[in-house]
């Protein structure tokens, strides 16, 4: 067994005592501190550290990955990796000290891994005062990306978890959709946002149309809208109470993006919550977003969140067959409006992110270039918050030439066409139904682009909603749709969805399958590599 120093992220400190961990953790994370009281969990000094929230892996590449854990008390994170579950000839990685500054969470970076191989890992938490006092190891596994196209790629995607008051209901198997996704043994899971509903309190029961009750697991932090850092953290911990989600996290690495409900419904930078919304004492949405972003960075293993700019948008390289461009359509957007302006340089992405996306798309040599958007392009998503007739996504309902945020998307689509970038498709969630849209200039008001597909899937465990109207600016044709006829259908009644992408190694052919929560295939579309206009 070799001893290696891995780069870790947590509340690292050179001191080894428990008191030093708590003090050093807060100092180490000072750049992210917000003015809110944080209560450390109670723990018995005589006990051993434990990780009841499981483990996660994220941002896995051909030779690296991130492993995450949360301890129930101050602890040193130790990770071992091996080619087998027996952990013979294991490599050891010394991770960070976990303390209150990161809510006892931490991430360890693994590097020098073999490409295209199954990696078994186990996380052990050690008492910082006595390294011999350790908790039960928690195990997980992931596959590294292939360096060559000798093996195909399969991943699943969806979004929207614990929304509209529908939380963990153990009577129906909790977040059972994760078991169906795990049964496909995907290389990774792309979560398209709304990982939590910080603005959606969860009560012990909710009435169903047939008169029965939907019974939720409840916690103190989920009893109100999240405002404090502790409440945002509690929202992320809530989901980890689900057995199916923890099993899935231990089996499948994730690529995570965020959207509005990590903070508040339909939020945008600079927004001030109306005085009439008495749920909130903190009215400055930028303050709420800073707290949410910190909790988000603590509860997911995302490499770019450790950069000085702390950005969520990034490109995930998964071998020669696939690049995934993970967008952030929330942090850099302009204010929601009717979207009728004829000049809109900021748009929904912001200029810097748009230029980054163009550069990375032009640089990509992957057969397929998936653009992971947290909002759809051609579906009209209104923002009726505080009674205003604004637009929340891109399409604003006018079928004519691009206006508002559509201008930025038109610029991107034109760039893709003129740079002859092939193999692009768009994946999203957000609207709480599943559908497939084909965009074609022959049907569009704006015509300077090549045809492409957009696939929508979700929710994972939230209220399902009827289909949104289409905007004809980019010529969408809704080839498939499954959505309820009424709003806010509960997970107990169905209409929970995820999607699957399967890329064949030999032919490069890409197959999209839209699936129901039990894995049933609803729709299949096969795309050929290098071909435009399909």
- Distance separating alpha carbons of residues 296 and 257, to the nearest angstrom: 10
Where are the alpha helices (H) located in 281-336, listed in sequence order? 285-299
Q: How far apart are CA 367 and CA 213, in angstroms?
A: 48
User: Confidence band (pLDDT; 50, 70, 90) for 16?
Assistant: very low
Token pair of 291 as six digits: 């707290």
Output b/e per residue, 368-388; b: 16+ Cβ within 10 A.
bbbbbbbbbbbbbbbbebeee
Among 274, 295, 298, 296, residue whose Cα is nearest residue 284? 274
pLDDT at position 13, please?
A: 34
Model pTM score: 0.91
At residue 387, the pLDDT reads 67
Mean pLDDT of the chain: 91
Instruction: Work out the end-to-end distance of the chain between its first and last CA atoms, rounded to an integer number of angstroms.
Output: 52
Q: Are strands 205-207 and 322-326 parallel, antiparallel or unpaired?
A: unpaired
Is the pLDDT at 30 greater than 60? The verdict is: no
Instruction: Supply angle C-alpha 518, 525, 182, rounded to 5.
Output: 30
Look at residues 202, 193, 208 and name the one whose alpha carbon lies nearest to residue 168: 202
pLDDT at 50 over 80: yes
Q: According to the model, what pLDDT value does residue 533 have? A: 57
Check if the beta carbon of residue 412 is closer than 8 Å to that of residue 377.
Answer: no
Residues 171-196 have a mean pLDDT of 98
Is the pLDDT reported for residue 10 higher than 80? no
Element (H, E) at 207: strand 205-207
Alpha carbon 460 to chain centroid, angstroms = 12
Does the pLDDT of residue 44 top 80, yes or no?
Answer: no
Compute the distance between CA of residue 450 and CA of residue 454 in angstroms, rounded to an integer. Answer: 13
Contact yes or no for 323/315 (Cβ under 8 A):
yes
260 pLDDT more than 60: yes
Q: Where are the beta strands (DSSP E) in 17-170?
A: 55-58, 64-70, 75-82, 91-98, 105-111, 118-126, 138-143, 153-158
**What pLDDT was estimated at residue 54?**
98
Measured between alpha carbons, how far is 15 from 344 in angstroms, rounded to an integer?
51
Asked whether residue 126 carries a pLDDT value surpassing 80, the answer given is yes
User: Could you give the domains of the chain?
Assistant: 2-143 (2.60.40.380), 153-527 (3.60.21.70)
Rounded (10°) angle between helices 406-418 and 351-363: 20
Q: What is the mean predicted confidence (pLDDT) over 261-269?
A: 97
Torsion of CA 6, 7, 11, 17, to 10 degrees: 40
| pLDDT (tens digit per residue) in 393-410 | 999 999 999 999 999 999
Q: Which two tokens stand for residue 451?
A: 């045809």
Compare 251 and 147 and report the one with higher pLDDT. 251
Token code pair at residue 361: 């798309």
The closest alpha carbon to 427, from 457, 451, 405, 461, belongs to 457
Give the pLDDT score at 309: 80
Q: How far apart are CA 250 and CA 320, in angstroms?
A: 26
Q: Which pLDDT value is given to residue 303?
A: 86
Mean pLDDT calculated for residue range 290-307: 91
Residue-wise pLDDT tens digits, 311-358:
999 999 999 999 999 999 999 999 999 999 999 999 999 999 999 999
CB 169 within 8 A of CB 201: no
Percent of the chain with pLDDT over 70: 90
Q: How far apart are CA 140 and CA 120, in angstroms?
A: 6
Looking at the predicted structure, is the pLDDT value of residue 511 above 80? yes
Chain mean position to CA 30: 25
Distance CA(114)–CA(91), nearest Å, equals: 12
User: In whole angstroms, what is the distance from residue 133 CA to residue 280 CA?
Assistant: 43
User: Per-residue pLDDT for 6 more than 80?
Assistant: no
Question: pLDDT tens digits, residue range 446-469?
Answer: 999 999 999 999 999 999 999 999
Q: Specify which of 40-49, 66-75, 301-310 reaches the highest per-range mean pLDDT.
A: 66-75
What's the pLDDT score for residue 277? Answer: 94
CA torsion, points 349, 279, 396, 467, in degrees to nearest 10?
Answer: 110
Burial of 177 (0-12, 13-18, 19+ CB in 10 A): buried
Tell me the pairing of strands 424-428 and 105-111: unpaired
Q: Is the pLDDT of residue 429 over 60?
A: yes
pLDDT at 2 over 50: no
Cα gap 164→146, rounded to integer Å: 39
Rounded Cα distance, 134 and 50, in Å: 8
pLDDT at 37 over 70: no
């Amino acid at each position: 067994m070799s001893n290696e120093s891995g780069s870790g992220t947590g509340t690292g400190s050179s001191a080894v005592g428990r008191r030093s961990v708590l003090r050093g953790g807060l100092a180490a994370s000072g750049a992210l501190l917000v003015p809110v009281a944080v209560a450390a969990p109670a723990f018995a000094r005589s006990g051993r550290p434990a990780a009841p929230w499981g483990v996660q892996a994220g941002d896995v590449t051909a030779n690296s990955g991130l492993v995450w854990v949360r301890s129930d008390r101050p602890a040193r994170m130790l990770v071992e990796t091996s080619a087998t579950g027996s952990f013979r000839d294991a490599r050891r990685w010394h991770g960070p000290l976990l303390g209150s500054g990161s809510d006892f969470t931490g991430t360890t970076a693994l590097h020098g891994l073999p490409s295209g191989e199954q990696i078994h890992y186990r996380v052990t938490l050690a008492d910082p005062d006595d390294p011999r006092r350790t908790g039960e190891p928690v195990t997980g596994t992931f596959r590294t990306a292939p360096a060559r196209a000798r093996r195909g790629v399969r991943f699943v995607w969806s979004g929207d978890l614990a929304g509209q008051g529908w939380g963990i209901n153990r009577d129906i198997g909790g977040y059972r959709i994760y078991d169906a996704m795990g049964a496909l043994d995907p290389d990774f899971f792309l979560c398209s946002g709304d990982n939590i509903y910080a603005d959606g309190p969860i009560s012990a029961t909710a009435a169903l149309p047939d008169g029965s009750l939907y019974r939720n697991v409840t916690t103190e932090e989920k009893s109100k809208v999240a405002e404090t850092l502790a409440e945002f953290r509690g929202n992320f911990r809530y989901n980890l109470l689900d057995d199916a989600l923890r099993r899935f996290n231990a089996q499948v690495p994730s690529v995570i993006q965020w959207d509005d409900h990590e903070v508040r419904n339909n939020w945008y930078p600079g927004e001030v919550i109306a005085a009439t919304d008495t749920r909130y004492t903190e009215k400055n949405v930028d303050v709420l977003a800073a707290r949410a972003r910190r909790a988000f960075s603590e509860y997911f293993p995302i490499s770019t969140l450790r950069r000085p700019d702390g950005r969520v948008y990034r490109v995930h390289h998964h071998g020669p067959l696939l690049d995934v461009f993970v967008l952030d359509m929330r942090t850099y957007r302009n204010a929601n409006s009717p979207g009728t302006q004829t000049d809109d340089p900021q748009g929904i992405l912001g200029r810097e992110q748009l230029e980054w996306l163009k550069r990375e798309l032009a640089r990509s040599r992957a057969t397929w270039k998936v653009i992971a958007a947290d909002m759809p392009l051609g579906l009209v998503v209104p923002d009726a918050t505080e009674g205003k007739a604004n637009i929340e996504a891109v399409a604003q309902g006018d079928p004519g030439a691009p206006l508002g945020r559509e201008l930025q998307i038109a610029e991107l689509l034109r760039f893709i066409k003129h740079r002859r970038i092939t193999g692009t498709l768009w994946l999203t969630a957000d609207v709480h139904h599943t559908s497939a849209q084909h965009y074609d200039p022959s049907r569009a008001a704006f015509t300077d682009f090549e045809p492409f597909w957009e696939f929508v899937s979700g929710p994972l465990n939230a209220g399902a909603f009827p289909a949104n109207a289409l905007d004809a600016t980019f010529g969408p044709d809704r080839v498939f749709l499954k959505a309820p006829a009424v709003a806010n259908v509960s997970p107990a009644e169905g209409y929970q969805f995820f999607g699957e992408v399967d890329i064949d190694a030999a032919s490069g052919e890409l197959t999209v399958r839209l699936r129901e929560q039990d894995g049933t295939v609803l729709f299949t579309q096969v795309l050929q590599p290098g071909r435009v206009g399909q």
